[in-house]
Structure 1
């Protein structure tokens, strides 16, 4: 049991910290469990300050689980042999509590020396455990650095999008210069680059999904939904840059596919997506189709996609009110 627990912990740690394909099963289970506790305690309200602590709590919980797993695994191995460890001075057989203490300072590489292994086999196991503690606990702590960097990019992307407009309609109106949407398309390359990087970060560091910002302008879910809605409105306007539109569609589709595979499996939307108000766009003469045709596309052709967007919002404690906050 000790060997099994130790190996499972090491495998999960390696999968999470050294792989670019997501976290291990133990890490994912702990992350989801901690998030659910915070989400329930906050009343599923994205504006709750309590959710801001969910991400750090997830990281600390995962680190503790790894330490406990390695420590417990080595302790169980030592416990399997009554004479595995003795007191260095008296050579007295150690108690289970003393073996637990020995396992702890071995993994932490403190090298206290008041207890010692009795045979060559236990000395080798002690050495391997010490190297494992040095390598894996150090790796788990350094894992925090790229995670926090990815969280910073997430907030930057959210602020970038929300700074272009508070609603999808406002984003388009702000970008219209009287002739085309060049003000928007000039920023599409940067948007796509940040969005694709954010998507790849989700593959490498899934725990960033649980870093929540209770300020709407810095929250990633409303920002992505706002951008997606703006993109689909833009499809029904004049003067489109087809290349930039294709880039944006690919970036958004890839992100939503990642969310659906990782965090929105079997997710059910508990509300319906609103039909966007097209009055301002129609007044400016930006639509190439009638408002009835555009609304029908959003209500029917985009129904499944918008249900996914609704689930994305709800899973993070938000609603469509944060996307169409200005009556859009």
Structure 2
């Protein structure tokens, strides 16, 4: 008995199984292995695309992350069982000749056991290995079920992400346009009519992000369908509404709370120690003034956006940059 192979096999099998369970059944995000691999695959695509959010290459990052995670789980479980079987020279024999299985034959046996095919041309020699085989087969069945259970809601969450992005960008291509489009000459009632639906989608997206952080790597290279510029667009519009004296306090508070919760979720998972390499611009309110919207004086606007909101907007800058975007996608409609 080779105890080194046995211990390594058990550890690899258990660690992979724990990561799979944490990722697929927990509501608190993915396992450490899954998260590390996801970040690594995304970084590879991000660098290869030139860190350009409009690159079509980034559209393949999300599917590539899912496929890589699946392959890592398969390899981890397969090799874990293989090492356990390899620890005992006589663990597996040919069912017809009873000849001791070679290393490659044990690898084959481990594979068809986990895939629950049950070919039967090789068999375990002792009760211990029969029990190990049965446990591995049940794990394989659970693995297949868990993967399907995980991937379906992930893809559904990605759909909601695109829907939310389109909903926000449909209100206006810039924060100023959102204000102008919402202004009826007296107030912003048309904007607040949509806040409940908007907050509901944003809260659901935030919860999805918390449960399935892998959706962060599903990138859309169309600005109107990209989530990072959409969230920043909405956040900037919220602060402009405050400057314009929007009076629906309840819905303003709802919007503030949902945006804050989203920001906190990003800080916990993707923006830890994130650095912003560019400065957030001060919004030009000339067109807002022309529309007759009563915003505060230019100096008050400048002080609010450049001083009071400096740290907050630096975080928004990092959010944009880590997804390949800039503030041009928020304040310049031509981009």
The two structures have a TM-score, normalised by structure 1, of 0.98
- Which of structure 1's runs of 4+ aligned residues deviate more than 3 A? none
Q: Per-residue displacement from partner, 1:168-226 (whole Å, max 9, x unpaired)?
A: 00000000011110000000000100000000001110000000000000000000000
Of 142, 145, 149, which residue of structure 2 is paired with 1:138? Answer: 145
Seen in structure 2, the aligned counterparts of structure 1 residues 48 and 214 have a Cα distance that, compared at 3 Å, is same
* 2:94 maps to 1:77: no
Question: Residue 289 of structure 2 contacts residue 295 of structure 2 at CA under 8 Å; is this kept in 1?
Answer: no
Of 55, 66, 71, which residue of structure 2 is paired with 1:59? Answer: 66
* 2:184 maps to 1:177: yes
Residue matched to 2:32: 25
Question: Residue 82 of structure 1 contacts residue 93 of structure 1 at CA under 8 Å; is this kept in 2?
Answer: yes
Could you tell me how far 1:142 is from its partner in structure 2?
2.7
Could you tell me how far 1:81 is from its partner in structure 2?
0.2
Structure 1 range deviating more: 267-276 or 230-239: 230-239
Unaligned runs of 5+ in 1: none
Seen in structure 2, the aligned counterparts of structure 1 residues 26 and 239 have a Cα distance that, compared at 3 Å, is closer
Could you tell me how far 1:153 is from its partner in structure 2?
0.3
Q: 2 CA distance for matches of 1:215 and 1:144?
A: 23
Partner of 1:89, secondary structure, is coil
Q: Per-residue displacement from partner, 1:289-312 (whole Å, max 9, x unpaired)?
A: 211111111000000000000000
Unaligned runs of 5+ in 2: 1-7
Question: Residue 78 of structure 1 contacts residue 99 of structure 1 at CA under 8 Å; is this kept in 2?
Answer: yes
Residue matched to 1:186: 193
Of 123, 147, 159, which residue of structure 1 is paired with 2:154? Answer: 147
* 2:42 maps to 1:35: yes
Seen in structure 2, the aligned counterparts of structure 1 residues 252 and 95 have a Cα distance that, compared at 3 Å, is same
Question: Residue 234 of structure 1 contacts residue 240 of structure 1 at CA under 8 Å; is this kept in 2?
Answer: no
Q: 2 CA distance for matches of 1:68 and 1:142?
A: 20
Question: Residue 175 of structure 2 contacts residue 331 of structure 2 at CA under 8 Å; is this kept in 1?
Answer: yes
Equivalent residues, number: 328
Could you tell me how far 1:327 is from its partner in structure 2?
8.0
Residue matched to 2:326: 319
Structure 1 range deviating more: 214-223 or 229-238: 229-238
Question: Residue 282 of structure 1 contacts residue 291 of structure 1 at CA under 8 Å; is this kept in 2?
Answer: no
Could you tell me how far 1:281 is from its partner in structure 2?
1.8
Q: 2 CA distance for matches of 1:46 and 1:125?
A: 48
The two structures have a TM-score, normalised by structure 2, of 0.96
